[in-house]
Structure formats: C-alpha cells, structure tokens
C-alpha cells in the first residue's frame, strides 16, 4: 500500500522502524488515552520499545502479514491503523486503530480504516475483515457500525488489561458487503 491522502486531508503512510522517535513522541501524547483499548505491548514508553513495535510490524509486512500505518494531520502523527492479522491463505484480516485526542473527531481514523478495507478487498482479494474491541469502547463500536460491519457476538473475558478480564465484541465485513456498499 502506498502513501495516500485521505478525504479528510490527512496523510496515511507506512509507519516503519525509522520513524521510531516520532512514534514514541506520539505515544507520549496518546498513552493514557489509548491504554485501556490497545494491547500492553503496543503502549511502549521509550524509543527502543517503539522501534521494537514498528519492527514487529515491518517483519510481518515482509512476510505479507500484519502491517501498521500512521495518520499525519498537518504533518503531525496523530494516530494510525493496522492489520492486526492479515492472511491471503485464509482470506481474512483483522483491522485495528488508535488515536491521540488531537486526532479525534475529524474523521481521520474512519477514512484510514476505509482505505485498509479497500486494499484488503479490492487489491488483495480478501473475503472477510474483522474488527474486535472491548464491549465498553463506545467509539470503536460506533466506528464499526458506521463502516457497515455486522455484530457477530461477544468473546467473554477475552481481553486482559492490568489483571482484569474484559469482554470483547466481534464485528465483520465481507467482500460482497463492501462491494454492495460501494
């Protein structure tokens, strides 16, 4: 996937290891805001941790698997989207997202997720995209619903955060639904 200017005017581009310092600075602004909603290994606290996270995604992309992309608004990294899972063998992917407070409310994340869905379905020919989030993450659930995803159910106590297990909602979108919505 190449760099893309989103309809909101923000830039969507690969978030690669060479951007670790910028990613770490972004996480400093976003950390407490996103901590309840993302995995603990994602919320690193220093440049080396940021580099490890980005390298893990770069290694995955090199294997035609997981990928991570940043969203830049006015030249500042304000959030991003990723393929948490990506498999041409199974025809499926899982998409995730995050944003610092300054990146919210302007449609950047929704536009970026649509671009990942376009890539998954139209470019790579995948059959199914999933969206998983905590059941108490109202913003994430609202986005899944705006994207036309179907609620499939709840994975009970499937999301451990700081020793507490939370329920996880599962949504999906199929290729034919994406095509019909276009």
pLDDT in tens, 57-78: 999 999 999 999 999 999 999 9
pLDDT at 41: 74
Q: Is residue 33 over pLDDT 90? A: no
Q: Is residue 94 over pLDDT 90? A: yes
> CA-to-CA distance for 178 and 182, rounded, in angstroms?
6
Q: Where do the structural domains in the chain lie, given as residue ranges?
A: 4-181
pLDDT at 75: 95
- Across the range 21-40, mean pLDDT stands at 86
How is residue 182 written in tokens? 């276009």
pLDDT in tens, 121-158: 999 999 999 999 999 999 999 999 999 999 999 999 99
Give the three-state DSSP class for 40: coil
Q: Is residue 1 over pLDDT 90? A: no
> CA-to-CA distance for 3 and 160, rounded, in angstroms?
34
Q: How many residues does the chain have?
A: 182
Architecture of domain 4-181: 3-Layer(aba) Sandwich (3.40)
- Across the range 94-103, mean pLDDT stands at 93
CB proximity list for 156: less than 8 A, separation 6 or greater: 167
- Across the range 95-102, mean pLDDT stands at 93
- Which among 1, 125, 134 is positioned nearest to 67, based on CA atoms? 1
């Amino acid at each position: 996937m190449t760099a893309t200017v989103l309809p909101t005017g923000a830039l969507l581009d690969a978030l690669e290891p060479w951007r670790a310092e910028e990613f770490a600075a972004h996480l400093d602004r976003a950390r407490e805001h996103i901590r309840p909603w993302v995995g603990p290994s994602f919320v690193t606290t220093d440049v080396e941790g940021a580099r490890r996270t980005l390298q893990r995604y770069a290694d995955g992309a090199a294997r035609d698997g997981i990928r991570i992309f940043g969203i830049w608004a006015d030249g500042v990294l304000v959030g991003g989207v990723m393929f948490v899972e990506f498999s041409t063998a199974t025809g499926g992917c899982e998409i995730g997202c995050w944003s610092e407070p300054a990146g919210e409310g302007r449609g950047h994340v929704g536009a970026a997720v649509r671009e990942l869905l376009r890539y998954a379905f139209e470019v790579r020919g995948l059959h199914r995209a999933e969206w998983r989030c905590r059941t108490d993450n109202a913003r994430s659930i609202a986005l899944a619903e705006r994207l036309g995803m179907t609620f499939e159910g709840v994975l009970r106590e499937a999301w451990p955060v700081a020793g507490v297990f939370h329920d996880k909602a599962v949504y999906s979108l199929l290729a034919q639904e994406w095509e019909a919505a276009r």
